Amino acid sequence: MKTVMQKQTGPTSRLWSCIGVLLILAGWQIAAMYLGPMLMASPLDTFKNLVPMLTSTHFLDNASVSLWRIGVGVGCGCLIGFILGVLAGHNACLRGLLEPLRWVLMAMPPVVVVMLSMLWFGLGSPMVIFMTVLMMAPGMYVNTVKGMLQVDRNLVEMTHVYRFGRWRKLLHLYLPALTAPLTAALLIAACGGVRMVVMAEVLGAESGVGYALANAQSVFDNTEIFTWIILVLLLVAVIEFVLLQPLQRRMRQWQENDHV
Amino acid sequence: MFELDNVSVRFGCKTVLDNLSFSLASGEQVGLLGVSGAGKSTLLRLAAGLLQPDSGRLSNTFLNPILVFQEPRLLPWRPVIENICIPLRAKGMAKNQARECAGYWLEKVGLRDAAGQWPGQLSGGMAQRVALARAFAMEPDLLLLDEPFSALDPGLRASLGQLCSEYLEQNRVAMLCISHNPHELVEITDRCVLVEQGRLRPFEPDHLQDDEARKKMADLLYQTLLG
């Protein structure tokens, strides 16, 4: 018997997603025809440019720098957010103490953070990584704290009775219980992190995808701009569909079995 | 030995246990009876170390008290066998030995075939049997039972009660057991205590010497409970 969740992600839903992709491509083609090649590259020109771009050193150099920044920035941001979230979930005083900082970071426009980071770190990787960490950590923190406060108190009591140590509690109680908020936060952080890194690179870096995009824009090379956009979208798709969604499915395997 | 000396526990302005004194010796098996909200579970939680008294003295020399809750409280994201292995590993048992021990106790409760299943796939009775297996596998020196069979059907209650009796007979561990059924309780305990509005009313152990006395005792307790 299929569950409701399985039905929602079944072949029908995938078919509609494919139709959605085709509609976006059609809309893009119509817009490109209407605006002309100076303002918007067509899907065909963009995809034709993909293969030569992928094999060029220009792509490899910039993409590898950006990937490194995304990995370090998102990784550190999520780790810091998670650790602080777990601690704050246990301690109301720490939660209160961190609340103003959380609010400031979440309310501050990313461009302001980029400007301040450039002022403090100059151009380059430290600035990009710093601002990515600063922007990614609060989201992970909020989701972790919320998840921690919703962990079943009965199970917490049970782990106390059976004298689980801190590590066992984290591994067997908190991490599995936090699967839903954590994977959602990871997804938002990873996809948001890509956007944040590219934006920071556009504004103040000497290498990376954002830097290449800024260069292409300065010489009005629309095809290159759209090719980079497609590559960034592909990267986000790989993070979401190849890494995070299978991880999410694996961690929620126990929910897929119906009660007898 | 578990001992309470003039212990009081309050939740907000409500006094749940009021200057209560109680002791449980090693190997002694005591039944707790009382209406809902009388403070029975609070007493058990004190013994399990889940609560500290607001006043009075508590001393507990039992090294391994284990509380079996009304509901199974299994980790839903870990297979059945892991639910038994993880506490054993926390106790310091080697991985292979823990699996072997978990398998043995699953066999004892008739759930060897369910070892790889998720707790969500089990019925209520099966899950409670796993919870009992987990408790027995820990080799407690104090077993605390908080109406563990109350949500089960009579057949299952009887079979799990039998399993419990056998375990207690073979391993003379101390036990505190809550039940609303005096007839069930007098069968497996040395003495019974009635909890009334945070205070205790003991029933003499001499009354539980033979079957007829046990039945009379259970009837008396039942009548007292009805008020």
Determine phi and psi for B23, rounding to 5 degrees: -140, 150
Chain B residue whose CA is closest to A177: B77
Domain annotation covers residue A168: yes
> Confidence class of residue A247 from pLDDT cuts 50, 70 and 90?
confident
Contacts of residue A137, Cβ cutoff 8 Å, sequence gap at least 6? A77, A78, A80, A81, A84, A105
**Residue A139: inside a domain:** yes
B76 → closest Cβ in A161, A251, A254: A254
b/e burial code for range B148-178 (CB count within 10 A of at least 16 → b): bbeebeeebbebbbebbeebbeeeebbbbbb
Residue A258 lies in a domain: no
Does residue A145 lie within any of the structural domains? yes
Q: How many CB atoms lie within 10 A of CB B223?
A: 10
Residue A171 lies in a domain: yes
Q: Which CATH number does the domain housing residue A177 bear?
A: 1.10.3720.10
Cα separation of the two ends of chain A: 11
Residue type, A145: V
Please state whether B191 falls in left (phi above 0), alpha (psi between -120 and 50) or beta: beta
By CA distance, what is B91's nearest residue in A? Answer: A163
Domain assignment of residue A31, yes or no:
no
Structure tokens at B157: 């209650």
In this prediction, residue A22 has a pLDDT band, given cuts at 50, 70 and 90, of: very high
Nearest CA in chain A to B123: A260
pLDDT at residue B147, as a whole number: 85
Residue A240 lies in a domain: yes
Q: State the ipTM, two decimals.
A: 0.86
Confidence of residue B172 (pLDDT cuts 50, 70, 90): confident
Domain count, chain A: 1
Q: What angle do CA A25, A26, A31 make, to 5 degrees?
A: 95
Question: Which residues of B fall within a CB distance of 8 Å from A155?
Answer: 73, 75
pLDDT over threshold 50, residue A146: yes
Q: Locate tokens 């002309």: which residue?
A: A36
CA gap B199, A129 in Å, rounded: 63
Asked whether the predicted pLDDT for residue A80 surpasses 80, the reply is: yes
pLDDT digits (tens, 9 = 90+) for A156-203: 999 999 999 999 999 999 999 998 888 888 888 888 899 889 988 888
Residue A16: what residue type?
W
- Count of Cβ atoms closer than 10 Å to residue B88 Cβ: 23
* Residue A154 tokens, joined: 């009965």
State residue A56's pLDDT score.
Answer: 87
* Angstrom distance (rounded) from CA B33 to CA A216: 81
Residue A80 · residue A132 · CB < 8 Å = no
HSE (side-chain half, CA atoms, 13 Å) at A12: 4
For chain B, list residues whose CB is within 8 angstroms of any CB belonging to chain A. Answer: 48-50, 65-67, 69, 71, 73, 75-78, 86-87, 89-91, 117-118, 120-123, 134, 138
Over 60: is that where the pLDDT of A258 sits?
no
Amino acid, res. B198: G
pLDDT at position B79 over 90 = yes
**Pairing mode, if any, of strands B14-24 and B2-11?**
antiparallel
Residues of A in contact with B70 (CB under 8 A): none
User: What pLDDT, on the 0 to 100 scale, is given for residue A149?
Assistant: 93
Which one has a higher pLDDT value, B214 or A137?
A137
d(CA B102, CA B100): 5
Phi, psi of A220, rounded to the nearest 5 degrees: 55, 35
pLDDT digits (tens, 9 = 90+) for B30-66: 988 887 888 888 999 999 999 999 999 999 999 899 9
What pLDDT, on a 0 to 100 scale, did the predictor assign at position A260? 46
> Is the Cβ–Cβ distance between B135 and B66 less than 8 Å?
yes
B188/B30 Cα distance (integer angstroms): 9
pTM given for the model: 0.79
Distance of alpha carbon B69 from alpha carbon A160, whole angstroms: 13
pLDDT of residue A36 exceeding 80, the answer is yes
CA of B90 to nearest chain A CA: how many angstroms apart?
6
Distances (CA, A) of A151 to A92, A144, A159, A258, B96: 15, 11, 12, 22, 30
Angstrom distance (rounded) from CA B39 to CA B14: 11
Q: What is the pLDDT of residue B163?
A: 81
CA distance B217 to A124: 83
Pairing relationship of beta strands B29-33 and B14-24 according to DSSP bridges: unpaired
In the numeric block, which tokens belong to residue B199?
A: 């205070």
Show the domain range for A167. Answer: 57-252
Q: Which two tokens stand for residue B11?
A: 């939740």
Q: What is the pLDDT of residues A88-129, one digit of tens each?
A: 999 999 999 999 999 999 999 988 988 899 899 988 889 999
Residue with tokens 């199970």: A155
